[in-house]
């Protein structure tokens, strides 16, 4: 397994020097002063279509973000992030997953020199990150694009090392009537009592909600997540990253003081509720728990002033699709994911 130093400054300087000699653009890590250029770049990159675009996050994440510039103009942005880390007890065939997200302005989407230079920079950073992961498992370097992002996807799929991983639908629930926000929420009850009355669970089940998580609560959730998705567990780092997002909240259904069904949501751009990690333990399925979780999450997201809510679901997960359609979600696009061995 090849490893790189965590601080490969020689590589970065050599790459930037090479680009300066071969083209008008240069590549470097993101800086705080780049936010105006990033805003202009984002507007160009996503205009008129659905695009998977990662925001740069907090300063501690900027070492994973690289940008290409022509003068003061940002023409490409890429970043890497760990999506799942295998525990030592996971099956040997499972792999850590590092994802990257690479976008250009529209008129550079077929610039293979630019895409190649950016990708090699991101891959070098991914190798640095890989060296910090447990060596009990291999690592996949992955990306995902919506169906509308054909030219970006074609650049990578033309390279034989990238193989398909999965396809998933992006679904949206639009709130058509927002005129009575908060009107049906009891005002003199605790939150748990209020939602017990509004969203009735089957006998033996109870609501539990988290706006923050202790170390013990996070560990309990990670065990639940590993039970449901042993091949692609969320991992402690990604859970912490998602939990730090605006408006994050976790809703759970408990039985005998144990979590048996769960989801989390957060608010994107102040107007979209992003629902993630919808799960139910096998012994408690087909009892309406996922539907109850979704109904309550949609209620809360709507009352936060959002215009819609979105989530992802694997194309082959017919049972989940039925549940999502039943509560008003509609398919709006499809994401294709690919990966290669690091």
pLDDT digits (tens, 9 = 90+) for 213-267: 999 999 999 999 999 998 888 888 889 999 999 999 999 999 999 999 999 999 9
Q: Please answer whether residues 254 and 266 qualify as being in contact, where contact means their C-beta atoms are separated by less than 8 angstroms.
A: no
Is the per-residue pLDDT at 164 higher than 70? yes
| Candidate from 29-43, 182-196, 204-218, 319-333 with smallest mean pLDDT | 182-196
pLDDT, residue 185, reads 52
Is the per-residue pLDDT at 204 higher than 50? yes
Distance CA 278, CA 286 (A): 14
Is the per-residue pLDDT at 270 higher than 50? yes
Tokens describing residue 127: 């190798």
Residues 6+ apart with CB under 8 A from 74: 34, 37, 38, 40, 41, 67, 68, 105
Q: How confident is the model at residue 336 (pLDDT cuts 50, 70, 90)?
A: very high
Higher local confidence (pLDDT), 335 or 233 = 335
State whether residue 73 is helix, strand or coil.
Answer: strand
Q: How confident is the model at residue 194 (pLDDT cuts 50, 70, 90)?
A: low
pLDDT, residue 114, reads 97
Average pLDDT of span 143-169: 96
Exposure letters 281-316 (e unless 16+ CB within 10 A, then b)? beebeebbbbebbbbbbbebbbbeebebbbbebeee
Distance CA 185, CA 170 (A): 30
Give helix 289-303 / helix 318-326 axis angle, nearest 10°. 50
Is the per-residue pLDDT at 91 higher than 50? yes
Average model confidence (pLDDT) across the chain: 89
The candidate with the shortest Cα–Cα distance to 23, out of 91, 96, 105, 113, is: 113
| Candidate from 20-29, 54-63, 129-138 with smallest mean pLDDT | 20-29
Give residue 57's region: left, alpha or beta (phi > 0; psi -120 to 50).
left
Q: Please answer whether residues 137 and 90 qualify as being in contact, where contact means their C-beta atoms are separated by less than 8 angstroms.
A: yes
Is the per-residue pLDDT at 196 higher than 50? yes
- Return the number of other C-beta atoms located less than 10 Å from residue 157's C-beta: 16
Terminal C-alpha separation, the chain: 8
Is the per-residue pLDDT at 15 higher than 50? no
Distance CA 261, CA 282 (A): 10
DSSP at 49: S
Average pLDDT of span 133-139: 94
pLDDT, residue 7, reads 36
pLDDT, residue 20, reads 41
pLDDT digits (tens, 9 = 90+) for 50-70: 999 999 988 999 999 999 999
Q: What number of H helices and E strands is found in the chain?
A: 9, 12
**Domains in the chain with CATH codes:** 9-159 (3.40.630.30), 171-336 (3.40.630.30)
Is the per-residue pLDDT at 111 higher than 90? yes
Is the per-residue pLDDT at 191 higher than 70? no
Is the per-residue pLDDT at 94 higher than 50? yes
Q: Please answer whether residues 309 and 301 qualify as being in contact, where contact means their C-beta atoms are separated by less than 8 angstroms.
A: yes
């Amino acid at each position: 397994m090849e490893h790189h130093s965590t601080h490969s400054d020689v590589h970065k300087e050599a790459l930037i020097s090479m680009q300066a000699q071969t083209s008008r653009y240069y590549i470097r890590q993101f800086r705080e002063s780049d936010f105006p250029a990033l805003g202009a770049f984002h507007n160009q990159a996503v205009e008129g279509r659905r695009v998977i675009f990662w925001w740069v996050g907090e300063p501690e994440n900027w070492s994973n973000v690289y940008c290409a510039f022509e003068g003061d103009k940002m023409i490409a942005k890429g970043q890497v992030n760990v999506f799942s880390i295998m525990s030592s007890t996971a099956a040997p065939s499972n792999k850590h997953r590092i994802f990257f997200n690479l976008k250009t302005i529209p008129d550079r989407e077929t610039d293979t020199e630019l895409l190649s230079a950016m990708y090699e920079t991101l891959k070098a950073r991914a190798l640095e990150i890989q060296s910090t992961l447990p060596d009990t498992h291999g690592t996949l370097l992955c990306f995902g694009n919506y169906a509308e992002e054909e030219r970006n996807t074609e650049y990578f799929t033309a390279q034989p090392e990238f193989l398909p991983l999965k396809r998933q639908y992006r679904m949206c629930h639009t709130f058509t009537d927002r005129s009575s926000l908060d009107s049906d929420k009891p005002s003199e009850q605790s939150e748990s009592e209020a939602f017990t009355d509004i969203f009735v669970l089957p006998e033996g089940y109870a609501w539990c909600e988290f706006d923050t998580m202790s170390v013990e609560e996070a560990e309990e959730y990670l065990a639940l997540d590993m039970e449901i998705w042993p091949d692609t567990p969320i991992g402690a780092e990604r859970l912490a990253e998602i939990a730090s997002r605006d408006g994050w909240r976790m809703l759970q259904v408990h039985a005998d003081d144990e979590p048996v069904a769960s989801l989390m949501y957060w608010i994107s751009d102040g107007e979209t509720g992003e629902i993630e990690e919808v799960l139910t333990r096998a012994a408690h399925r087909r009892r309406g728990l996922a539907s109850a979780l979704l109904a309550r999450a949609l209620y809360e997201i709507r009352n936060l002033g959002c215009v819609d809510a979105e989530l992802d679901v694997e194309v082959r997960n017919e049972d989940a699709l039925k549940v999502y359609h039943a509560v008003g979600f509609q398919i709006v696009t499809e994401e294709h994911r690919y990966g290669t061995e690091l």
